[in-house]
């Protein structure tokens, strides 16, 4: 787990960047499942990254220019009766003693105390895109401070998005973070390997989901990092299929996209394999094409390479293969430029991975690429999805019946290392030989 010293170091790094500003972060609200029943609480990842504090109704303030209170927490106060219902709270004292706040207050004192930490700041760092209710609170304080600015001649004259400061930090993982990510990856690998053994014609998709998620919790994970996708037959052509209620048939491919969270860091793995032990010739052809695209894309993961190279490499392999099979025709450069492959491949080849499954971090700076650097973790997940209902596109060949209903994705989690990369999820088999029996 992340120790207090690492949290402190993260806060110091943030504060060194915001200098004369004040940064404000709001904890995630509770999410309602139905009526008065709530989902299990998941802290906002920015808030968690900076504080380790895992309760709702909290606000963290970073004011490096303040003489004593550089890190302030507003929290729910101790309340034995409420705690009996909803769980223990750290309270105001715990916020200081356990979480290292220089000062802490009950959350209901926010309106009274927050202005003190804003009125000398040159700007506020805050992300306006997350919590509309808290946006109102913050904007109210900002307006008041601007109204009284003439009296003081100090105060925040702008709000800058905290993402721009914090997310480059989150994008590059520390050794401790990588330990948690490796653990999430290892548990997810074991779950996938077990699922491959367990999945047989006659089983239901939900039985496989249950086996996978059982392993996630049994091994100490927080649970699924995202709703597990267990998609057999034509369901594999639906990118976010989560009903998971169909019975597997001999001859089906089964696409499983599942990963666990461990210490709130996520894994994200997809494998596609024949449930009856043999690919049909068409399934095998498409599978080998996706695998080749994935291997070539992974080979581009190395420091200094543009992030976009990974996607571009996968797309080129897929398009060339689809052309060779007569599923696309025309000029390869035009097909790529105009994205005419999208009826078969409609998503990007991956994303950053970390505290969020689709983790934070910039992919491209306008015309300038984001260059890969050691410590970043990304997924590489090309696919081909030939929907049973695929529409014919003008100027493109009609899709033969034999290809329809084949959906394949192969996804691994890849760490950028000083020498290249390491596939954290390599221990789930993906060669054709290893998947057939
Ligand atoms: N499972 C979500 C994704 O692959 O992006
Ligand atoms: Mn996935
Ligand atoms: Mn993914």
Q: Whose CA is nearest to atom 3 of ligand 1?
A: 268
The three-state secondary structure class of 109 is helix
Asked whether the domain spanning 172-435 has the same topology as the one spanning 4-169, the reply is no
pLDDT band at 232 (very low <50, low <70, confident <90, very high): very high
* Across 53-80, average pLDDT: 97
- Cα distances (Å, whole numbers) of residue 40 to 84, 223, 316: 17, 11, 42
The three-state secondary structure class of 378 is strand
56 contacts 28 by C-beta, under 8 angstroms? yes
Say how many Å lie between the CA of residue 13 and the centre of ligand 1: 30
- Distance between CA atoms of 144 and 98, rounded to whole angstroms? 33
**Sequence ranges of the domains in the chain:** 4-169, 172-435
126 contacts 162 by C-beta, under 8 angstroms? yes
* Across 92-102, average pLDDT: 98
Which residues contact ligand 1 via a Cβ below 6 A?
Answer: 226, 257, 268, 351, 357, 381, 411
Instruction: Specify the ligand 1 atom closest to the Cα of 409.
Output: 4
pLDDT tens readout for residues 316-326: 999 999 999 99
* Across 290-299, average pLDDT: 99
pLDDT band at 224 (very low <50, low <70, confident <90, very high): very high
Say how many Å lie between the CA of residue 433 and the centre of ligand 1: 25
pLDDT tens readout for residues 335-378: 999 999 999 999 999 999 999 999 999 999 999 999 999 999 99
246 contacts 205 by C-beta, under 8 angstroms? yes
Cβ-Cβ contacts under 8 Å for 107 (sequence gap 6 or more): 57, 58, 59, 74, 75, 76, 77
Say how many Å lie between the CA of residue 56 and the centre of ligand 2: 28
Query: Percentage of the chain surpassing pLDDT 70?
Result: 100
Instruction: Specify the ligand 1 atom closest to the Cα of 358.
Output: 5
Helix or strand run (H / E) with residue 207 = helix 205-218
The CATH topology of domain 172-435 is: Creatine Amidinohydrolase (3.90.230)
**How many Å from the N-terminal Cα to the C-terminal Cα in the chain?**
40
Cβ-Cβ contacts under 8 Å for 431 (sequence gap 6 or more): 291
Does position 392 have pLDDT exceeding 90, yes or no? no
Say how many Å lie between the CA of residue 359 and the centre of ligand 2: 12
* Across 156-165, average pLDDT: 97
Q: Which ligand is nearest to the CA of 226?
A: 1
pLDDT tens readout for residues 197-219: 999 999 999 999 999 999 999 99
Q: What angle do CA 18, 20, 26 make, to 5 degrees?
A: 55
- Distance between CA atoms of 26 and 138, rounded to whole angstroms? 10
* Across 167-183, average pLDDT: 98
Alpha-carbon 72 to chain mean position: 28
- Distance between CA atoms of 215 and 192, rounded to whole angstroms? 10
CATH number, domain 4-169 = 3.40.350.10
Catalytically active residues, by annotation: 36, 240, 257, 268, 347, 351, 358, 381, 385, 409, 411
36 contacts 132 by C-beta, under 8 angstroms? no
Q: What integer pLDDT is reported at residue 130 of this predicted model?
A: 92
- Distance between CA atoms of 116 and 128, rounded to whole angstroms? 21
Q: Which residues pair with 371 in a beta bridge?
A: 306
């Amino acid at each position: 787990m992340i120790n207090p010293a690492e949290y402190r170091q993260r806060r110091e790094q943030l504060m060194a960047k915001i200098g004369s500003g004040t940064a404000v972060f709001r904890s995630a609200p509770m999410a309602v499942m139905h009526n008065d029943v709530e989902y299990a609480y998941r802290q906002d990842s920015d808030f968690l990254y900076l504080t380790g504090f895992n309760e709702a109704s909290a606000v963290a303030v970073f004011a490096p220019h303040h003489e004593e209170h550089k890190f302030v927490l507003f929290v729910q106060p101790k309340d034995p009766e409420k705690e009996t219902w909803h769980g223990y709270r750290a309270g105001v004292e715990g916020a200081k003693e356990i979480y290292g706040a220089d000062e802490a207050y009950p959350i209901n004192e926010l309106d009274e105390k927050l202005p003190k930490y804003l009125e000398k700041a040159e700007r506020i760092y805050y992300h306006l895109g997350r919590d509309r209710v808290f946006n109102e609170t913050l904007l109210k304080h900002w307006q008041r401070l601007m109204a009284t600015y003439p009296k003081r001649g100090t105060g925040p004259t702008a709000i800058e998005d905290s993402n721009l400061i914090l997310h480059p930090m989150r994008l590059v993982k520390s050794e401790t973070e990588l330990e948690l990510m490796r653990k999430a990856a290892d548990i997810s690998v074991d779950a996938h390997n077990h699922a491959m053994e367990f999945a047989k014609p006659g089983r239901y998709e939900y039985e496989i989901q249950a086996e996978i998620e059982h392993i996630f919790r049994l091994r100490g994970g927080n649970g699924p990092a995202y709703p597990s996708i267990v998609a057999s037959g034509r369901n594999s052509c639906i990118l976010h299929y989560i009903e998971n209620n169909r019975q597997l048939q001999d001859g089906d491919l089964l696409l499983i996209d599942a990963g666990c969270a461990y210490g709130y860091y996520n894994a994200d793995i997809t494998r596609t394999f024949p449930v009856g032990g043999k690919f049909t010739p068409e399934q095998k052809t498409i599978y080998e094409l996706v695998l080749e695209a994935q291997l070539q894309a992974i080979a581009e993961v190395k420091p200094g390479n543009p992030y976009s190279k990974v996607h571009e490499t996968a797309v080129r392999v897929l398009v060339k293969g689809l052309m060779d099979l007569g599923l696309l025709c025309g000029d390869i450069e035009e097909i790529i430029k105009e994205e005419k492959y999208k009826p078969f491949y409609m998503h990007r080849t991956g994303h950053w991975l970390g505290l969020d499954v689709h983790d934070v971090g910039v992919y491209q700076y306008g015309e300038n690429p984001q260059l890969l650097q050691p410590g970043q973790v990304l997924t590489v997940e090309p696919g081909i999805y030939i929907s049973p209902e695929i529409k014919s596109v003008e100027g493109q060949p009609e899709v033969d019946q034999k290809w329809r209903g084949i959906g394949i994705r192969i996804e691994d989690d890849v760490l950028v290392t000083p020498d290249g990369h390491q596939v954290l999820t390599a221990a789930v088999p993906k060669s054709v030989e290893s998947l057939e029996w």
